[in-house]
Structure 1
Amino acid sequence: MQKNKSWRKILLSATLPVITITLWVLFAPLQFGGNVAYVIVAGNSMSPKYMLGDLVVVRSQASYKIGDAVTYQHPEIDYVFHRIVNIDPEGRFVMQGDHNSWQDLYHPSQEDVIGKLWLHAPGLGNRLENLRSPWGFAILALVFTFLLFTIVVPPEKKRGRRKERGKGNFMSGSHKKTGENLFILTVLALGALVLGFTAFRHPVLNEINTPLPYEQQAVFRYTAHVPSGIYDSDQIQPGEPIFRRLNGSFSIGLDYMFISAHPTSINGTYNLVAIVSDGSGWKRTLELIPETPFSGNVFTVSGTLALDKIQDFIDALERETGVERGRYTLSILSDIKIEGVLSELALQDSFSPEINFDITNLEVVLRKSANANQNVLNPIEKNALTRISHEPNKLNILGLKIPVSLARWIALGVGIPAAFFLILLLVQLYTSTQRSELERVRLWYGSMLIEARDIQMLDAPRQIEIASIDDLANLAEQDQRSILHLPDGDAHHFFVQTTEQLYHYQLDENTTGIEILSTPASSDGWTARLPWRRQSSALQDSYTRALEGWANAVDMRFYEEGHSEEIATITEKLAKSLGIHGRALEEVRLGAYLHDIGFMNIPETIVRKKKKLTKKEWKIVRSLPEQAKDRLMETNLQSSVVDIVHYHHERWDGSGYPEGLSGEEIPLGARIVAVIDVWDALKHPRPYRDAWSFEEICQYFREQSGIQFDPHVTEAFLDLLTEDFPEECGEV
């Protein structure tokens, strides 16, 4: 059953601001105080999932973790959309594209990161790029202006109607207050629901990962005495080669330092070993300093390496294997293990600094690093502990930072009472409408009604009885009219005055429920009040009159006055020729009269359209029989009449609608009305075609006999046409 727009407007008016604020909170860009950034992918480094021209929407977060796809601001190439693959000791993010085999050189900090991936729209970025042009901005401006004047600014016609309603509105002060309460409670309930949904999806506390960086350094040194005149001094300096003819051994030393800006307490162990290897997997180890404990952030260790012992290892290998390589690798390394406390956090780590020499029979030469900036004598290892702390999480709502815990309490404290009183109010409204139909009219249609003391000033066109207040309101809305209300004792009369018709609906004060036409409505007392109606007139049965009023309302919208009467008359004539009489004939006539009742709710744009209907429009048209059936089933109308209206679009071959019945499955009355309906449609012009000639129509029925139409009914109809128009239709 159709509902009036006044109460729907209250709910819609309450919902729109909540939806608007919600959309703003969700999608407002960072430049306007929001949490969202819109990024157009400018390359394929994140392919195959994120391609060139895609739009990615990122939201700012309190923290980010490994695996997050984020957008960060690069100091040279602006915005970059890549994935976090690691976090360096300084707490900066190591980034890499999904399609790249290398990592980004720049490591962004937390402040550099714009946001984490939230939404992905493939290809949308290319379309949005077009809107950056002057034409694009012009189109956006036109669309915005159109929406502003069609949605925000009420049309002139509607504003005029509001002024007409003015005083005397049928909605009482209590009902206006009910509307205000409904609006307020709906806003509070929906607002609390959105706030609660958002707040309970976010943790109360944010986990903050604070890196505590530290650094371990080792400084290697080696020296040996040499005869004067060979070097600049009589001591070999670190980095210089050692000639084995001059030195059979050399001293090796290591200075270790643990560096951190935070308080530390360190202890551990270290050793110092020499390893000779040939690069193919063979190696021998010579311990220089055994495992030794230390305490503190620094220590120094030194030892002497006898090259003869290293040579013994090499000679044994070559003697036993017969393989003489000539050049070997000599490594000096220390295995340092530390544990302790760094800024109240437990620390456990290891560090294995080493230096490498190339050793031959003649010399020992320090191996240089391929990186010119790296000092091989000063290996450094950086690392960090992570301090995990928590701080209250906050929601950014229109630039206002609200703690999540407070948002949850607000949502519960406001939402639960608002929802309770909203449900209570809706139950009260429903209960009151069930007690009295008049109360339902006041609630649903109060804003459309105007109180009238008499109807002497009304014009006196043909009066049409309407079956329900809902249909009367529908007519009023379509024609932008108010509904006049005239109380008459226990009866209430409702009118819609148009330039062509006067529509009337009568309601008794104590009527309950909403059973349309369940009992015939008496209008004797009412008729006496109409100045243009004679009290001595014989009135039609109000039941039939109301049904015909429906059909007449359709005629006035889409056809000519008397259209339904003409269809019913021709149908009755055809039915008689087929041997239908008595009550069955009356039912066929009434079904023909009401056959287009489904058009009550069809948009006029579809009926008046000159072009081919779209699929969506055809779906609406094909739904009309079901709508007509639903409307008529609410009455006590005979089922045979309802079936005629419901099935008159079925075809003999089963290709019709709504149920695809075929042959004699289709009620005979519906088969008869189907012929007359098409006959009437073809002989009248339509927006998309001209009227057909009688000869063309007769030929069409001959061709469609047994396909679209019942052959027996078609033959009888053509017989009638031949009698009336022998020259046009010819002999069958």
Structure 2
Amino acid sequence: MSGGRRLLGGLAAPGIAWRAACLVFVLGLAAAAYFLWPATWGGQVSYVMVAGTSMEPTLRAGDLVLVRRSSTYAPGDVVAYRSPAGTLVHRIVGGSEEEGFALQGDNRGTTDPYRPRGDELLGKMWLRVPSGAIPLDYLRRPVNMLVLVASLAGLLLLGAGAAQRRRRRPRSLTAEPGPSRRPSALPDGPDVGLVLAAASVLALLGLVALGSAVYGFTRPTQLPVARQVPLYQHDGRFQYLLEMQPSTLYPEGRLGPVAPPPDGNGEVSPPNPVYSRLARTLHITYHYRLQGQGPAEVTGEAAASLLISAGKDAWSKSLPLVPAQGFSGGEATLTMAVDLEQVQATIRTIEAETGYRAQSYAIVVLPAVRVRGQVAGEPVDDTFQAPFTLRLEGGQLVPERQLVRREARTVSRAAWQEQAIALPGLEVPVDTWRWVSVGAAALLLSLAVAAVAVVAARGPLAWAELVHRSLIVEVQSPPEAEGGPWLAVASLGDLARLARLAEGAVFKWRYGAGALYFVKGASATYYFSSARRPGQAGHAAAPQQQPAPFRRP
């Protein structure tokens, strides 16, 4: 009994450890699914493979970036978004969710032409896997995926065969089961019925996968579509200087010059307070440049006007500031001077005439540029306006902080769009659908053939046992040697016919070297043994009177 308790104790601990390991695995799998579930399947994470150098040294080509959706984004965040040129991973350097974020690569000197809004961002960088995109890119190729699946299937079959050979350990024919052991011998191989049932299921699934592959090959992988791609960008930059009356606050008689930084989104810190009573002249320099995605051959005209407004629903007055000037080569510069004393005098005159005094007034310098020509072979005839505003309120002039204006233009180009097959909550590219289906069909049908081969390798006896399994009753103890001769028959099929004639059963007893099948008749016992002795091509040679061993009373 002490030995039995030791055996049970030795088995109990591994059982508990196995259950604990399974629980930890399931919990880990659930946690991984929660945190890493792809956004395309309803999760919060998007996977982006880095393919360029624009974010070096933060990100390098071949890195895998995991981005998670966020409710807020701020300058400094590394985010992913879909632009007309594809999915990009860049850093936020300015802007807002409503007007669009200004993004720029760490290895770039200019911001991106496209300014995505907050709802267009895929998310901010959550995790970086160095070189993690390399194996994923390798597995995206159908041939590589097929080789991997076939290799895993081969390893699985080899492992199953090795395990099966380890289970087939011979036992002595005369060994009697001990009191603490199961009275049956080791099995002589996998159950034929189960193996063939598994082969049938695998073959059915393989045919389904084959039909899926046929369906995939009837669908086009790409269709021509019109896609908007970047063509050029208008870029306007302001620089200003305020001429003031020399005073205690402004001993030098000026504020500025104020210019946008070379890098960033063009937003500057506000200067010292500008009191309208001391303001004399606003000097503004406006530089325009057309940035094309290809060779640009353009000419144009640039002009500027001054707009004074008392509000959205109140009066406004427009005054010419700079007459139209021609330019060529995609760049133009305007130099303007706004007499602030005259502007304030005009406001006071209109207030006296109308009897209306607004809380604040907007003084808007409005350059307008018109360009004509060709960019990257595409005809261009476009107008770009970039307002710069000062607000007059409470005796102060408040200049606008944003000194850079950009507008991107796109052109419709014919392109090939990847087609996908829609599933509930998932879209699979047609090309991927094809090769995954082909790989699955090849794997499943190969496993079905292998299962049939496992049964065929066991010889005709396995098939005969499958055919006559309704007559076979397996017993746990060896047959008793009692009365009458034991007569050997040529095959299990012969034994089955005898059983049907006697309206009885075929008893099967397993032992180390094989199995003994026998039918009890009125005057004799008929048997067939799967064990073979050297030099005999059929069944085991019959003993002189009966096969050994027998449990004798």
TM norm structure 2:
0.40
Structure showing the higher strand proportion among its residues? 2
Higher relative contact order (CA 8 A, sep 6+): 2
Q: Which has the larger radius of gyration?
A: 1
TM norm structure 1:
0.32
Structure showing the higher helix proportion among its residues? 1
